[in-house]
Each structure stands twice: as C-alpha cells, then as structure tokens.
C-alpha cells in the first residue's frame, strides 16, 4: 500500500513538472479558491481560504451547503478566470494530500490569490513551507479590513462563547486566552477551562517559527490577553481556528 501511494505521488509530481502551466485554460470554477484546469487537474490557490460551498459530512461525502459569502466568492473568482488562460506559479510543495495542485494564479497582470484577499472574499491562510507571498497577502488583507470589504464588513465580531454556532464559517472571534497547552503536534491557545467544548486557537508546530521570527513565544505571550482571531471555524473538541502567523491574532487588551 505504501509503495503504491509513493508511486502515485511520483506520477503526480512527474505530470506536474512536464505540463506547461505558464499558459493553461480554466475549464471550471469549483469555489472561491479552487478551479479545474484544461488538463483535468484541480488547482487550489495558495495562501488563502474562502467560505465553503460544499461541506464534508461524517461519512466523507461532500454536500452542497453554501456557507455565508461562499457563492459571492465563487462568482468573483469565476468572473476573473473561468474560460480564460492563466499562468500558474508554484512554491515549495506543489500538491496537497488530495492530489490537487497548489499554486499562485495570474491572469495578465492580475494576481488572483491576492485579489480575492484584497476584495474581502478570502482570509489569509499561509501554510508553511508555501509562504513565498505571505507579506504580500498580509498587506492585501490589511486593505480589505480597513475598508471593511466583503467578509470584513458583512458580519459582526462574535464572542468566543458563541463560536460553536458558526462551524464551517469564516468569522472573527474575540475572547481572553486563559491558558495554553503544547502537544507533540501543535500549540493550543485555550479560551476556557474545558478544552473539549470551549473555543481554541491552534498553531501547528511547522508554523511556530513565524511567531519566533517576530519575537513572540506563543506559549506564554497570549495568556491573559484579549485577542481577536479571524478564519474558518472548525469542529474538533469544540470550535477552533487554525492560524499560521502572528498577524492572524490581533491583541486587543493586555498587550
């Protein structure tokens, strides 16, 4: 089984390297951050996350269940790229665990990834090692937040105690970090004493270096501080948002 997975991964990498992605046509827009190319491959935009059009159920099936602002993000993406030739630029990792290509999308002089963030249709989600344009994306999101574009002007900030009502949605959540816990894989910033029910910010180990580069030790830095975090609320032992950089956590009080 392991040999077969290795072989399939090798085939995908080989096909990715041989195909000319400097000029490829977009057949279909799947959602705000994923498109289908003329060679049949799916491309997932690097560095951002848009609201989901389809939600995976407990059986692993995807059901049409558009989340707030997901159809607007899909339509904006469709107008930008569907039926057009694009140029794809890759980073360190070229595919994800689902076999989708991971890349930066350009059409003429428009940087599509950044455009979606700048117009408020997406939030940054920079996952190491694919961080080539992270500073560019941060600047784009600052503009969107300042002008209250898209997601930033459509929904109020919610209290961490209400986060469980917004699973699978992109929202901004506020609360005080009461303690932290570091496991073998990640660091948890806890907003309550019951980690199985209360809201949590999750920082995986591979993202910790982004905090230390800014002189932040997240194990201690955020405890007792009121913060605001923006991203997709997921369900795992209670509601959580995964972050990959200190920019995604705004200190409101106690900093």
Backbone angles phi, psi at 181, to 5 degrees: -145, 130
Active site residues: 44, 52, 100
């Amino acid at each position: 089984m392991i040999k077969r997975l290795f072989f399939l991964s090798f085939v995908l990498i080989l096909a990715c390297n041989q195909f000319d992605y400097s000029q490829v046509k977009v057949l279909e827009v799947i959602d705000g951050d994923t498109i289908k190319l003329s060679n049949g491959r799916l491309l997932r935009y690097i560095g951002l996350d848009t609201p989901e059009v389809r939600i995976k159920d407990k059986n692993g099936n995807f059901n049409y269940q558009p989340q707030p602002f997901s159809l607007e993000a899909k339509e904006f993406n469709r107008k930008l790229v569907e039926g057009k030739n694009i140029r794809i630029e890759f980073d360190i990792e070229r595919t994800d665990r689902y076999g989708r290509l991971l890349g930066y999308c350009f059409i003429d002089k428009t940087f599509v990834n950044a455009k979606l963030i700048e117009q408020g249709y997406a939030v940054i989600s920079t996952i190491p090692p694919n961080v080539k344009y992270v500073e560019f994306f941060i600047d784009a999101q600052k503009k969107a937040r300042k002008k209250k574009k898209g997601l930033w002007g459509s929904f109020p900030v919610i209290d961490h105690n209400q986060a469980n009502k917004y699973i699978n949605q992109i929202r901004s959540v506020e609360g005080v970090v009461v303690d932290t816990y570091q496991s073998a894989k990640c660091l948890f910033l806890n907003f309550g004493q019951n980690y199985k029910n209360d809201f949590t910010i999750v920082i995986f180990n591979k993202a910790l270096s982004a905090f230390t580069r800014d002189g932040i030790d997240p194990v201690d830095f955020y405890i007792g501080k009121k913060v605001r975090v923006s991203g997709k609320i997921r369900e795992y032992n209670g509601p959580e948002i995964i972050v990959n950089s200190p920019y995604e956590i705004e200190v409101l009080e106690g900093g």
